[in-house]
């Protein structure tokens, strides 16, 4: 029976108090009484400097740790991402909480929204953030944006946006959700943790105590501790430790367990203005995983000299900028062309629609060239981020965006939203119909072929060490006239493209996501 009254040390911000009261309430549910002691930290006192200008480490935690060591508090509640990677001698983390959604969100003033732009911020918009990690990843996606320093607690930051000091600001979704803040006055863009990679341990609370307080350690382990989250955070925090960084390091690291495998996403830039390198790894073995990640980011690492991709790329393409930064030359050329198969749309098929689902960027483009008059209540689903971006350029938001390359997962998630409704599928002729097959029998499915692919004549062989194929048709076009070089490595975008190589008996790499970020991760992960 634990019968001591505890003193919980916390910062005084709204979010810190929410977290401390959460811990206090959980303890009370288990008949352990506690009271709060508010402690001001260096990070709370100095608000005119950016994080990378503050001296030392732990500027949101040091004063709490000093009071723990002095015995004036019994436990300290931290946002885990604020903690240095090493505990001071005599202190330990006794428990980590369940993880709130680690995604970042972008709040945009409604008169600064441009849906045609990625992330919906107007061209050249001013975005506030105090994080070099966010800055580097944002500028990689949108180099036109102007990033300005933003400090203060969550309500203060939102107030600065409300006062129009910025066009948009970035925040952690976890903090906004925990505080229950109404964001209806803003346009909200959520960036999945696999798209804009969060800080190590983002969304998790850490409860720190004196190492000698074994009675309290046992109580916290049984009341608050989540061992699965602890396992994932060990990867993220050890990656941060190996890079020798703190809060100012432009490093994102996110580890999650998915289908009995550990997936790790890493983004690292030299500074907030630098273009980040990104890595995706998936493994069943977590032991030694952080040490396996470090060599990929070695400054002396050798990359291939050239990459071929069966797609035309603009000069501002994310993939082109990511690959050319590594000193790799790009041979970018499509081996096919697409043509419409219908020029007029029967308006009858648009009646009573609930959803339109697109499995490719071409499907989006050719469907809207038909100038459809859609119901105002229509919802849009897309297979991935590439199709989402194309839909944006036309002026529409996606209500469902598939994540990753597993078509079966996307189909299952979309079916949970659309079963029993009427769904239109604009697509290529001879589409694989993967999503349609997952829908229930009471769902009305309307297939609408809007384009077909035509092969270019005798494409020239690529001499690059890495060949990237963006569709099954491009695979057919290339290998109809060219032989496979066993020394070349293959990257396949999407499972239908991968299936072609399975049939050929050719090894291939499947990126996590079938978009330019996923491609950049895949090339970065290839060791030559």
Cα 6 from Cα 24, distance rounded (Å): 9
**What is the rounded distance in angstroms from the CA atom of residue 12 to the CA atom of residue 210?**
22
d(C-alpha 526, C-alpha 105), whole Å: 31
In the numeric block, the tokens 């608000």 are attached to 47
3-state class of 223 per DSSP? helix
Q: Residue 292 belongs to what H/E stretch? A: helix 289-293
- E strand or H helix at 445: strand 444-455
Phi, psi of 217 (to 5 degrees): -55, -50
State how far the alpha carbon of 218 is from the alpha carbons of 1, 25, 95, 100, in Å. Answer: 11, 18, 10, 24
Structure tokens of 252? 């994102």
Six token digits for residue 172:
């952690």
Helix ranges, 327-378 (H):
361-369
Active site residues: 82
Q: Fill in the DSSP letter of residue 312.
A: -
**Measured distance CA(498)–CA(510) in Å, rounded:** 7
Sign of CA dihedral 401, 112, 186, 275: positive
Question: What are the backbone dihedrals phi and psi of residue 466, each rounded to the nearest 5 degrees, phi first?
Answer: -120, 130
Contact between residue 171 and residue 128 where contact means Cβ atoms under 8 Å apart: no
Assigned token pair, 140: 């990689």
Structure tokens at 200: 């190590």
111: exposed, middle or buried (C-beta count within 10 Å: 0-12, 13-18, 19+)? exposed
Other Cβ atoms less than 10 A from the Cβ of 60: the count is 21
Instruction: Judge whether 199 and 80 are in contact, CB under 8 Å.
Output: no
Q: What is the spatial distance between Cα 430 and Cα 419, in angstroms, rounded to a whole number? A: 23
Residue of 411, 412, 405 whose CA lies nearest to 512: 405
For the chain, helix, strand, coil in percent to 5 are 35, 25, 45
The answer to whether 8 and 75 are in contact (CB under 8 A) is yes
| Residue 173: Cβ-neighbour burial (10 angstroms; 0-12, 13-18, 19+) | buried
Beta strands 75-79 and 205-210, pairing class? antiparallel
């Amino acid at each position: 029976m634990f019968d001591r009254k505890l003193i919980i040390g916390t910062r005084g911000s709204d979010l810190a108090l929410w977290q401390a009261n959460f811990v206090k309430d959980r303890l009370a549910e288990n008949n352990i009484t506690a009271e709060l002691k508010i402690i001001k930290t260096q990070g709370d006192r100095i608000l005119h400097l950016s994080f990378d200008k503050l001296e030392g480490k732990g500027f949101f935690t040091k004063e709490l740790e000093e009071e723990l060591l002095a015995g004036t508090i019994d436990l300290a509640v931290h946002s885990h991402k604020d903690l240095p990677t090493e505990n001071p001698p005599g202190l330990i983390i006794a428990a980590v909480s369940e993880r709130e959604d680690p995604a970042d969100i972008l709040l945009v003033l409604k008169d600064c929204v441009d849906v045609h732009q990625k992330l919906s911020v107007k061209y050249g918009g001013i975005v506030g953030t105090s994080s070099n990690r966010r800055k580097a990843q944002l500028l990689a996606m949108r180099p036109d944006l102007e990033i300005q320093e933003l400090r203060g607690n969550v309500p203060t930051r939102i107030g600065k946006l409300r006062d129009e000091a910025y066009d948009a600001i970035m925040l952690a979704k976890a903090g906004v959700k925990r505080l229950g803040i109404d964001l209806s006055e803003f346009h909200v863009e959520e960036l999945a943790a696999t798209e804009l990679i969060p800080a190590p341990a983002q969304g998790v609370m850490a409860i720190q105590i004196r190492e000698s307080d074994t009675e309290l350690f046992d109580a916290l382990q049984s009341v608050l501790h989540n061992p699965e989250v602890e396992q994932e955070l060990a990867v993220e925090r050890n990656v941060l430790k190996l890079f020798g960084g703190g809060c100012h390091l432009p490093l994102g690291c996110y580890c999650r367990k998915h289908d009995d495998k550990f997936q790790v996403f890493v983004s690292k830039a030299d500074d907030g203005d630098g273009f980040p390198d990104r890595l995706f790894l998936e493994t069943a073995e977590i032991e030694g995983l952080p040490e396996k990640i470090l060599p990929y980011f070695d400054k002396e690492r050798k990359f291939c000299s050239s990459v071929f991709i069966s797609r035309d790329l603009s000069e501002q393409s994310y993939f082109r900028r990511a690959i050319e930064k590594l000193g790799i030359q790009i041979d970018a050329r499509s081996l096919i062309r697409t043509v419409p198969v219908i020029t007029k749309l029967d308006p009858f098929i648009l009646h009573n629609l609930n959803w339109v689902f697109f499995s490719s960027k071409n499907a989006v483009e050719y469907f809207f060239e038909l100038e459809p008059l859609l119901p105002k209540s229509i919802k849009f689903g897309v297979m991935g981020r590439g199709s989402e971006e194309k839909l944006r350029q036309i002026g529409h938001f996606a209500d469902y965006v598939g994540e990753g390359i597993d078509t079966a997962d996307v189909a299952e998630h979309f079916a949970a939203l659309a079963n029993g409704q009427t769904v239109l599928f604009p697509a290529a002729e001879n589409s694989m119909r993967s999503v349609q097959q997952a829908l229930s029998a009471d769902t009305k499915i309307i297939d609408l072929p809007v384009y077909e692919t035509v092969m270019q004549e005798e494409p020239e062989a690529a001499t690059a060490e890495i060949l990237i194929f963006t569709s099954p048709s491009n695979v057919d076009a290339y290998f109809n006239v060219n032989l496979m070089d066993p020394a070349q490595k293959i990257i396949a975008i999407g499972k239908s493209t991968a299936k072609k190589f399975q049939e050929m008996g050719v090894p291939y790499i499947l990126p996590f996501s079938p978009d330019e970020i996923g491609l950049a991760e895949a090339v970065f992960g290839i060791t030559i």
